[in-house]
Amino acid sequence: MRSRCKAEVHAVLATGGIWVPMTDRFGVEGNLLLDNGTMPAPYREPIASLRRFIEGFTAEIDLFTDLAQRRLSHDAGYTAIQQIPGIGPVLAAVFVAEIGDVHRFDGPAQLSCWAGLTPAHHESDTMVRRGAITKQGSRLVRWAAIESVKILPKTSRIGAIREQVAHRRGNRNIGAVAAARRQLELVFYGLRDHHIGALRRPPRAA
């Protein structure tokens, strides 16, 4: 909502042909220009209104960021999973908040299934076929797991899995999903045990 208000400020400035030279129009210098600049009332008033909304949203964002940081600072699982390459404070917070009590899952396979990262299973009397991932369960956990592996270099443990599977299957998305499943396995053990022994072991084949 704050981003939408900022975009509307940009739109009003563009409509009025009002040039603001700063890259960050909501930084210190940009705000000073908006405070002191002269512009016609039809543009000044909506911009002032939007800026009040932006200030309100910023206050709420800062409040809940502080609350979240204080709660997470005492969470051993949150600290542990940030050891995993590709997972920083924001993605770690997503995993902790969305997964909750990890002990409700018997193992990493159940967590991956809950996150919708396992292939659909179609079985008949004569054959078993595995389709695309189910995409059922937590959309945010699935997104966080996939995003965390996309940025990894090819030389990393999980990055190598992503590249190997993508090359074998001829599809980079399939490679990312396979790597995300392995990443979520590490997240499971980090949240459960508050350390990740697999990071100290030699990588296994994909």
Q: Is the pLDDT of residue 120 over 70?
A: no
pLDDT in tens, 63-74: 998 998 888 988
> Cα separation of 112 and 85, whole Å?
18
CA nearest to 147, candidates 86, 69, 71, 81: 86
3-state SS of the chain? CHHHHHHHHHHHHHHCCCCCCCCCCCCHHHHHHHHHCCCCHHHHHHHHHHHHHHHHHHHHHHHHHHHHHHHHCCCHHHHHHCCCCCCCHHHHHHHHHHHCCHHHCCCHHHHHHHCCCCEEEEECCCCEEEEEECCCCCHHHHHHHHHHHHCCCCCCHHHHHHHHHHHHHCCHHHHHHHHHHHHHHHHHHHHHHCCCHHHHCCCCCC
Tell me the two tokens of residue 206: 């994909």
The predicted-structure confidence for 10-45, as pLDDT tens digits, reads as follows 898 888 887 777 778 888 888 887 887 777 888 889
Q: Report pLDDT digits (tens) over 159-185.
A: 999 999 999 999 999 999 999 999 999
Say how many C-beta atoms besides its own lie within 10 A of residue 196's C-beta.
Answer: 20
Q: Is the pLDDT of residue 205 over 80?
A: no
